[in-house]
Amino acid sequence: MTLTLTNFIDGRWREHNGPALTFENPSTGELLGTLPDSGAAEVDLAVAAARRAFTDGPWPRMSPQERAEALRAVAAVLEARFEPLAAGLIADTGCTARLAPMLQAGSPIAHLRDFAGMAPLLEKPVSYPVDTFPGFGQWELHREPVGVVGAFTPYNFPLFMAVWKAAPALLAGNTLVIKPSPLTPFGLNELAAAVIEAGLPEGVLNIVHGDREAGQALAAHPGVDLISFTGSTAVGRQVMASAARTVKEIIMELGGKSPAIVLPDADAELAVRGTLFSSMMHSGQACVATTRMLVPDSRYEEFTELLAARAGAMVLGPATDLATDVGPVVSAAARDRIDKHVATAVEQGARVLVGGEKPAGLPEGGHYVAPTVLADPDGDTIATREETFGPVLSVVRYSDIDDAVRKANDTPYGLAASVWGTDLNQARQVASRIESGLTWINDAGAADVARTPLAGRKQSGVGTELGPDGLFAYTRVKSLYTALDRDLATRAYGAVGAAWA
C-alpha cells in the first residue's frame, strides 16, 4: 500500500490535481508513495494562510506559556504514535532500526519539550531605568515575532530538522510555511497530523511539498519575513540570492567537512570509535559528520590499522535489520555521487583501507555504499576539501600541532570538529584554534538543545540554531523608551526650537 500525501494549508489537507513526485524506501527501492510537485500557486496559498494567522489570528497574541503548552501537546500526540512514527521514518529515510527510534522519532519529541521549556525567556522584557540629564525614564527591550517564516528542511533528518525550526519559531509567536525535501516527506505529514490533533490555530503551520519550483517561490516570496534553510551550501547560495531580493532575514545551516584532530597522547580506541560513530552514523548523511581524521605521523600506522579493523567489522544492510550498523543512503543519485567522490579521491592519490567497492548480497533496489576509509589523501583534493555526505572517512597525516590546525582549517567549511587527547589543557587550546561553530573534546555527537547553539563559520552557515540564541533568532528586538517625567525644562527640545522658550 502506497501513501498519497497532500499539502497542508490553513489547517486542512488540500487536494492536488497537478504534477506529482514519488518517494521510495532507500533499503529496497520500493515505492512508498506520491506527493504534490507544487508550484508558486500553492506557495501563495500557504503564505497567505500564514499571514492571516499572524495578522488576524490568536497565535502571536497568546502568551509564551500558552504557546509552550501547544508545543507540548504536539509532542504528546507524536509520542502516542511513537511506534508507527519510528517505523515510517525508518522506511522513509533509511536510518537504521537501532538509531531511528532515538534520533529520527524520539529527538523531535524531546526538542519540542526542550523549546517549550524556554518560554520564560520570552515572558518579560529586559528593562532598566536611565537617568537622562536632568530628567529620567526607562528603557525596555521587547522580543517580538518576526512574522511569517519560510522553512526548508533536508532529507537526512526530516522531522527532527522541521522541529529545530518550527519549535522556536512557533514559541516566539511566528507562523510558518515548511517546504520539506521531496525525498523524505513522511515525517512532515505526521507533524501536520499532530498539529491538527493538538488543536493549533489554522494557518499557524503549513506544509507545501514540491521540488525546485516550490522552493524558489518560497525563498523569493514577498510575504515571507524570514527564511530558515538547512541543506547544501550550493543550494543555500541560491536560496540566499532569492531571499535577498526582498531583504529577508535568513538563518542557514549548510555543508561541512568536519575534522577530528588526534593529539599524540590520544586514547586510540576512544578516538577511533567516536570518529567512526560520527562519520558512519546514518550513513554519513549529517552536516556535522566527521569526514577527516588528522593523525600524527608517529601514530599513523597504528590508527589506520585500527580504523580498518573497526570499519571493516561494520555491518552494511537494510535499515529494518537490527544487525545493521550502516544503512542505505537516501537515493540512487546520492549513491552514485558518493561512489564518484571515492573514485576521484583514489585517482587523486588516496588509497582505500576498507570499503570502496560495490556491496554485494543486498536488496537489488537499495542504495548502498560500503563504509569506506581512505588513507594518505593529498592536500587540495576531493577527499580533504569537498563534502561527500556519505559513509566515507579520510585519514590525513600531520607533522606537528600547527600543521594539524592548518589542515583542519584548510576548507571552505566550519561547522563542527573534534579534538582527541589525554591532556585536556592542550586539547582545549587546539579546540580554540579550529574554525568551527561546534567543537567536541574526546567525543563526537553530544548535544544539548536547550542550551547549546549551533552556528557555522565560513560557508557552513549564517546565523544560529538551537539554544536560547536559536530561539531569539526568530524574534526582532523592539526598543521602547518611556519618559517618567513631563517637565519641559528637562528636555533638550530648545536646541532646535529656541523661540519656544
Query: How many Cα atoms occupy the beta-carbon half-sphere of 376 within 13 Å?
Result: 8
Under CATH, which architecture does the 258-441 domain have?
3-Layer(aba) Sandwich (3.40)
**pLDDT means over runs of 10, the chain (501 residues):** 94 95 98 98 98 98 98 98 98 98 97 97 85 73 96 98 98 98 98 98 98 97 98 95 95 96 98 98 97 98 98 98 98 97 96 94 96 93 93 98 97 97 98 97 87 92 95 95 84 79 64
| Cα–Cα dist 367/332, whole Å | 6
Q: How is the chain split into domains, by residue range?
A: 3-254+460-480, 258-441
| Cα–Cα dist 207/214, whole Å | 11
306-358 pLDDT, tens digit each: 999 999 999 999 999 999 999 999 999 999 999 999 999 999 999 999 999 99
| Cα–Cα dist 355/161, whole Å | 30
Please report which helix (H) or strand (E) contains residue 482, including its range: strand 475-483
206-246 pLDDT, tens digit each: 999 999 999 999 999 999 999 999 999 999 999 999 999 99
The strand pairing partners of 317, in sequence order, are none
Chain mean position to CA 67: 23
List, in sequence order, every beta strand (DSSP E) within 77-153: 126-131, 136-145, 148-153
Tell me which residues are annotated as active site.
253, 287
3-state secondary structure of 433: helix
| Cα–Cα dist 333/91, whole Å | 18
- This model's pTM is above 0.85: yes
26-36 pLDDT, tens digit each: 999 999 999 99
55-68 pLDDT, tens digit each: 999 999 999 999 99
The strand pairing partners of 414, in sequence order, are 457
**Cβ-contact 291, 260 below 8 angstroms:** no
**Cβ-contact 23, 183 below 8 angstroms:** yes
3-state secondary structure of 395: strand
Q: Does domain 3-254+460-480 have CATH number 3.40.605.10?
A: yes
**Burial grade of 445 (CB within 10 A; 0-12, 13-18, 19 or more):** middle
b/e 270-279 (16+ beta carbons within 10 angstroms → b): ebbebbbbbb
> Which of 250, 70, 260, 285 is closest to 172 using CA atoms?
70
